[in-house]
Amino acid sequence: MSRFEIRWHGRGGQGIVTAADLTATAAIKSGFYAQSIPTFGTERRGSPVIAYNRIDRQQIFERSPVVEPDAVVVADPHLLVNPKPLGAGLKSGGYLIVNTAKSAGEVREIFKRSDIKIAVVNATKLSMDILKAPIVNTAMVGALIAATHILTLESVAEAVKDRFPSRLVEPNVQLIKQAYEFVKVE
Amino acid sequence: MSLPGWKQLPIGVVILNPGNSVEYKTGEWRTLRPEIDQEKCIRCRTCWTFCPEGAILEVSEPYKTKAGREFKLTYKVNYEHCKGCGICSNECPAKAIAMVEEVI
Amino acid sequence: MGKVLPLGGNYAVAYAVKACKPEVITAYPISPQTTIVERLSEFVANGELDAEFLHVESEHSALSVAIGAAAAGARSYSATCSQGLALMNELLYIMAYVRLPMALTIVARALSAPINIWNDHSDFMSVNDSGWIMMMSSSNQEAYDEILLAYRIAEDPRVLLPVITAMDGYIQSHVVEPVEIVDDEEALSFAPKRRSWVTLNPDKPVTMGPVGDPNWYFEFKRQLWEAMKGSRAVFDEAVAEFAKKFGRSYSAIETYRLDDAEVAIVGMGSFMGTIKAYVDRARKDGIKVGALRVKLFRPFPAEDVAKALSNVKLVGVMDRALVPGSPTGGFLHSDVACSIKQAGLDVRTLGYIAGLGGRLLTMDNVRQMVDVLLKYKDSKEVPKEPIFIGVRE
């Protein structure tokens, strides 16, 4: 794998920064060099939030936000109302991974791009079932790795063990596996 | 007197021989000098307490007044360090300390 | 060898401080520094670190207490930034001139007004005359390593100066990267507790910080000039020993593809990483550009900077703090220009002011900077006023 860059879109409170942290942690545990980059505003619960990952075999020098991501993860279906910032810079051949009840075809209609792979998963439903709360960050990590194969399920489960209090490990690992299984890629 | 250069000074703003202010003879600053009248002095220690320079000396020297009162202690002034501020004289409840002109 | 952990810059620093086992930590929270002392308080609370952890009522008190602790002989630590550093200001000078060692981390952040919690170098640069040794890292690993270097250098009897280690707020402090942490014993054997300075001790009393009247004050200033100058050799020794022991090399400056460069960008901090990445890209297009990162800011490595830039035609210096009314607009540019002048070189410089108050810096901004250099590299006159990168006209 050469450089792989990810941009996360969500809302304050959904755990987007944690999702990026988990991804970087799993990558570092797998022997990659990786960065997790939160954006720093005066975010409040509910306001749009962005985070980034860079993953590489080499040390990464860059210190600026990802401009041309290989993958974009959209953790909140409400953000689809304004698709422009979501698709901005997404590379041809890249991945768009969306938490939605829509089909991949319906999402493709919104973005009007035939040169990208689209993955959909109803992460809100899965997290309500398992966590009894609409906290979709770990589910979206599962969807991301299922669609892109950049990291293994085992490495992400390890990262969850590392970063989460012990009572939250099992349900989140279960959620990641479910999202991994149910994601649909087109 | 030549002062030490920066190379001779200890590292940092530190004085390694504490208490060396006794070498600084502030008695030269005095215009009026306190003189304790041993006849009037009641040995109450007030001057010793108030002196900002610690220049009142409490000496184990017996004194017997003309009226026959006997004391084991005597208070004296360290004129090397007394600046002549007059606080002792002002505070003395027995009016036993006079500030008199320094004659040089 | 130690283990590799995914750590944000603040946690990396907290781990390094823990390994150096300070006896006194003083803490007053301020973004983006807070998670350093937060993590240290956890280390103390759960018994991983045996230290007095003092929640003080202000940054002024944080450094006052650290001064007292260092005067009593303790290894001390604190961290702050921005307005907090400004509130510490008068104590910084006292600590340096009484020659008390400690490590203080600045998680670089803009100074008000307007109120701004984001990253630039205004706070760091504002204390550049305080008599502290000052260094700034560009990665979380380097931020970790600087703490070990700081204690080793600060407590060296040939130095006895406090050390500031700085990193960029958020861009480093909150960005997670792999960081190799070393065993506590290894850290302590590299930065042993020297107890090499005069301390307050009832059995051997001294007076610390007395008045210095016109007969005495000047001599202590002169003394510190020499100490700061002499600290450079100790820094070089320390980084050489560090490379031998831990396998990671640092130096006062980091040069990148300067050997045949016609133009070069000089700067400090983590954004130099993006500049290096841009240099690689521009080199592929045949543009002869290089980069120089100043790691050690005080004492300023003037000779190293001049030597590294001696074959460059035009140098662009990026300051991330503005000095209104100064000839160059930035402390870094002034020091670089002066270094070149002192070396008698015919190398011209121009300055950029960039990324103030967290204004986003991108590859495209670096391209702008390099374009300016290419435009002026053969012309007689270069802009005297700083070029403001990324500001709206």
Cα atoms in the Cβ-side hemisphere of radius 13 Å centred on A117? 15
Q: B3: which chain C residues are within 8 Å (Cβ-Cβ)?
A: 215-216
Q: Which of C356, C292, C392, C317 is nearest to C110 (CA)?
A: C356
Amino acid (1-letter code) at residue C79? A
- Our CA-based measurement puts residue B91 at a distance from the nearest CA of chain C, in whole angstroms, of 30
Helix (H) or strand (E) holding A126, with range, is: helix A123-131
**pLDDT tens digit string along C85-134?**
999 999 999 999 999 999 999 999 999 999 999 999 999 999 999 999 99
Pick from B3, B11, B15: which is nearest to C99 by CB?
B11
Neighbours of chain C (3+ CB pairs under 8 A): A, B
Q: Do residues A110 and A79 make contact, with C-beta atoms less than 8 angstroms apart? A: no
Contact C222 B11 (CB under 8 A): no
Question: Do C165 and C285 belong to one domain?
Answer: no
Measured in whole angstroms, the distance separating CA C330 from the mean position of its chain's CA atoms is 16
Three-state DSSP at C339 gives helix
Query: What CA–CA distance (Å, rounded) separates C292 from C252?
Result: 11
What average pLDDT does this structure show over C192-196? 94
Say if residues A148 and A72 touch (Cβ distance below 8 Å): no
What is the pLDDT, as a whole number, of residue A2?
85
Six-digit token pair at C274?
């993006």
* Beta-carbon separation of A35 and C273 below 8 A: no
CATH number, residue A132: 3.40.920.10
pLDDT exceeds 90 at position B102: no
Work out the pLDDT band at B19, boundaries 50, 70, 90.
confident
Say if A and C touch: at least 3 Cβ pairs within 8 Å: yes
3-state secondary structure of C382: coil
**Amino acid present at A34:** A
> Residue C347's pLDDT is what?
97
Question: What are the angstrom distances between the C-alpha of A177 and each of A72, A123, A156, B100?
Answer: 20, 12, 10, 99
Which residue on chain C is closest to B15 by alpha carbon?
C207
**Residue B70 class from Cβ within 10 Å (0-12 exposed, 13-18 middle, 19+ buried)?**
exposed
Residues C79 and C182 in one domain: yes
Distance separating alpha carbons of residues A132 and A177, to the nearest angstrom: 16
For the stretch C5-36, what's the b/e string if a residue is b when 16 or more beta carbons lie within 10 angstroms of its beta carbon? Answer: bbbbbbbbbbbbbbbbbbbbbbbbebbbbbbb
Q: How many domains does chain A have?
A: 1
Tally of structural domains, chain C: 2
Residue C250 burial (CB count, 10 A): 20
What DSSP character marks residue B9?
S
Distance from CA of C44 to the nearest CA of A (A): 20
The tokens describing C135, both together, are 């260094």
pLDDT of A1 reads 65
Q: How confident is the model at residue C194 (pLDDT cuts 50, 70, 90)?
A: very high
Residue among B70, B76, B72, B73 nearest B88 (CA)? B76
Same domain, C222 and C105: yes
- Integer Cα distance of C358 and C170 in angstroms: 9
C1 pLDDT more than 60: no
Q: Which residues of chain C neighbour B14 with C-beta distances below 8 Å?
A: 98-99, 198, 206-209
pLDDT confidence of A48, banded at 50, 70, 90? confident
B80 pLDDT exceeds 60?
yes
- Closest CB from B4, B13, B15 relative to C97: B13
Q: How far apart are CA C135 and CA A167, in angstroms?
A: 42
Query: Cβ of C178 and A33 within 8 Å?
Result: yes
27-46 in A: which are within 8 Å (CB) of C?
28-29, 33-38, 40
- Same domain for C237 and C283: no
User: Which residues contact residue A92 at a Cβ distance below 8 angstroms, ignoring those fewer than 6 apart?
Assistant: A115, A116
* Residue of B3, B9, B16 lying closest to C206 (CB–CB): B16
Residue A171: is its pLDDT beyond 80? yes
pLDDT in tens, C14-45: 999 999 999 999 999 999 999 999 999 999 99
C230 - beta bridge partners? Answer: none
Please say if the pLDDT value at position A42 is more than 80: no
Opening angle at CA C99, ends C297 and C154, nearest 5: 55
Q: Which of C:163-182 have CB within 8 Å of A?
A: 168, 170-172, 174-178
CB contact under 8 A, C210 and B3: no
User: Strand, coil or helix: what is A161?
Assistant: helix
Contact A109/C at CB under 8 A: no
A25 touching C, CB under 8 A?
yes
Do the Cβ atoms of C273 and A61 come within 8 Å?
A: yes
Q: Are residues C225 and C103 in the same domain?
A: yes
Same domain, residue pair C46 and C128? yes
> Which residue type sits at B79?
Y
Task: List, for residues A111-142, the tens digit of each pLDDT value.
Answer: 999 999 999 999 999 999 999 999 999 999 99
Which residue does chain C place closest to A35, by CA atoms?
C177
Q: Between chains, do A28 and C6 touch, taking CB under 8 Å as contact?
A: yes
Assess whether C156 and C191 both reside in one domain: yes
Clarify whether residues C232 and C312 are in a common domain: no
Residue C315: give its domain's CATH number: 3.40.50.920
Whole-angstrom distance, CA of residue C46 vs CA of residue C50: 10
From the list A148, A91, A83, A98, the residue with the least C-alpha distance to A116 is A91
Q: Looking at the partner chain, which of A20, A36, A40 has a beta carbon nearest the beta carbon of C170?
A: A40
Once rounded to an integer, what is the mean pLDDT over residues A157-172?
A: 95
Boundary (domain end) residue, out of C246, C279, C294: C246
Partner residue opposite A61 with nearest CB, options C5, C172, C274? C274
My answer on whether C264 and C291 are in the same domain is yes
Residue C209 distance to chain B (closest CA, Å) = 5
Q: How far is B30 from chain C (nearest CA, A)?
A: 22
Gap between the Cα atoms of C291 and A17, Å rounded? 32
Distance CA(B55)–CA(B83), nearest Å, equals: 9
For residue A41, pLDDT beyond 80: no
Which among A25, A40, A62 has CB closest to C6? A25
For residues C315 and C275, is the Cβ–Cβ distance under 8 A? no
Interface of A with C in 39-78 (CB under 8 A): 40, 60-65, 67
**Domain residues of chain B, as ranges?**
35-99
Predicted confidence at residue A45, as pLDDT, reads 66
Instruction: Collect all residues of chain C within an 8 Å Cβ-Cβ radius of residue B5.
Output: 219
Alpha helices in B1-104 (DSSP H): 46-50, 87-91
In order of A7, A19, A133, A163, B26, the CA distances from A51 in angstroms are 6, 9, 22, 17, 70
Contact C209 B3 (CB under 8 A): no
Mean pLDDT, rounded, for C161-187: 97
Per the prediction, chain A carries an average pLDDT of 94
Domain of residue C236, residue span: 3-246
Chain B: partners with 3+ C-beta pairs within 8 Å: C
Q: Is the pLDDT of residue C75 over 90?
A: yes
Domain extent for A163 = 4-185
**Separation CA A103–CA A1 (nearest Å):** 29
Nearest to C205 among B5, B13, B18 (CB): B18
| Res. A43: pLDDT tops 70 | no
Chain C neighbors of A43, CB-CB under 8 A: none
Instruction: Give the lowest-confidence range in B17-21, B90-94, C320-324.
Output: B17-21
Return the pLDDT at A127: 95
pLDDT at C350: 98
In angstroms, rounded to a whole number, what is the distance separating the alpha carbons of residues A99 and A94? 17
DSSP string for residues in C280-293: HHHHHTT--EEEEE
The strand pair at A33-38 and B74-77 is best described as unpaired
Residue C190's CATH number: 3.40.50.970
Q: If you write DSSP's letter for every residue of C145-199 in order, what string do you get?
A: HHHHHHHHHHT-TTT---EEEEEETTTTTT-BEEEEE--HHHHHHHS-----S--
The pLDDT confidence band at residue C279, using thresholds 50, 70 and 90, is very high
Helices marked H in chain C — which ranges?
9-20, 34-45, 59-71, 82-97, 122-126, 140-154, 184-190, 217-246, 271-284, 302-309, 331-342, 363-376
C217 touches chain B (CB under 8 A): no
Enter the ipTM. 0.87
Cross-strand pairs, A108: none
Contact A116, A180 (CB under 8 A): no
Query: Token pair for residue C113?
Result: 């007004």
Of C4, C176, C276, the CB nearest to A35: C176
Chain B CB contacts of C227 below 8 Å: 11
Please name the helix (run of DSSP H) or strand (run of DSSP E) that holds residue A85, with its range, or none.
helix A84-87
CA of C213: which chain B residue's CA is closest?
B13
Same domain as C290, residue C176: no
Report the distance separating Cα C128 and Cα A154, nearest Å.
Answer: 49
**Predicted pLDDT at A44:** 64
Mutation for testing the C interface, residue in B2, B9, B11 having most C CBs under 10 Å: B11
Under CATH, which number does the domain B35-99 receive? 3.30.70.20
Pick among C176, C278, C360 to test the A interface (most A CBs inside 10 A)? C176
Contact A25 C4 (CB under 8 A): no
Burial C316-341 (b: 16+ CB within 10 A, else e): bbbbbbbbeeeebbbbbbbbbbbbbe
In chain C, positions 268-287, which contact chain A (CB-CB < 8 Å)?
A: 270-271, 273-274, 276-277
**Confidence at A64, pLDDT banded by 50, 70, 90:** confident
- Asked if pLDDT for residue C340 goes beyond 90, the answer is yes
Instruction: Flag if C207 and B3 touch (Cβ within 8 Å).
Output: no
- Find out whether C61 and C130 touch, Cβ atoms under 8 Å: no
pLDDT at A4 over 80: yes
* Position C2 pLDDT exceeds 80: no
